[in-house]
Amino acid sequence: EDKVVQSPLSLVVHEGDTVTLNCSYEVTNFRSLLWYKQEKKAPTFLFMLTSSGIEKKSGRLSSILDKKELFSILNITATQTGDSAIYLCAVDRLEETSGSRLTFGEGTQLTVNP
């Protein structure tokens, strides 16, 4: 059975701190790993990683994938209160007969206090 596990499940930090969120997975027919940010409503896309060891960056956020050890990390530097959200990790796997689908982890609830 496919599994995506995120840690920690919740995290409270102060503005300016740096945080690291973890995602490990066991998935057959892996295609890519995706990170989403969910504030009050729909998840919004952050990163997609397909290759090992290549860092993706967007401002203060960065992510890297290790396909050998089957995990990814999402780093947020100089956190701001606007970073408070649930961060979701999902793995895209390809199915022969019914296309590809995402398996999500439980999410990490990040709270950034002023």
Partner 1 sequence: NAGVTQTPKFRVLKTGQSMTLLCAQDMNHEYMYWYRQDPGMGLRLIHYSVGEGTTAKGEVPDGYNVSRLKKQNFLLGLESAAPSQTSVYFCASSRGTSGFPNEQFFGPGTRLTVL
Minimum gap (Å) between residue 72 Cβ and partner 1: 14
**Cβ at position 114, least distance to partner 1 in Å:** 25
Rank residues 17 and 27 by Cβ distance to partner 1 and give the closer one: 27
Q: How far is the CB of 78 from partner 1 (least distance, A)?
A: 27
SS (H, E, C) the chain: CCEEEEECCEEEEECCCCEEEEEEEECCCEEEEEEEEECCCCCEEEEEECCCCCCEEECCEEEEEECCCCEEEEEECCCCHHHCEEEEEEEEEEECCCEEEEEECCCEEEEEEC
**Distance of alpha carbon 6 from alpha carbon 56, whole angstroms:** 19
Decide if 63 contacts 35 (C-beta within 8 A): yes
Chain contacts with partner 1 (rule: CB under 8 A): 4, 6, 9, 31-32, 34, 41-45, 48, 50, 88, 90, 92, 94, 98-107
- Residue closer to partner 1, measured from CB, 34 or 110: 34
Q: Which is nearer to partner 1, 15 or 106 (CB)?
A: 106
Nearest residue (CB) to partner 1, 59 versus 97: 97
Q: How far is the CB of 74 from partner 1 (least distance, A)?
A: 15
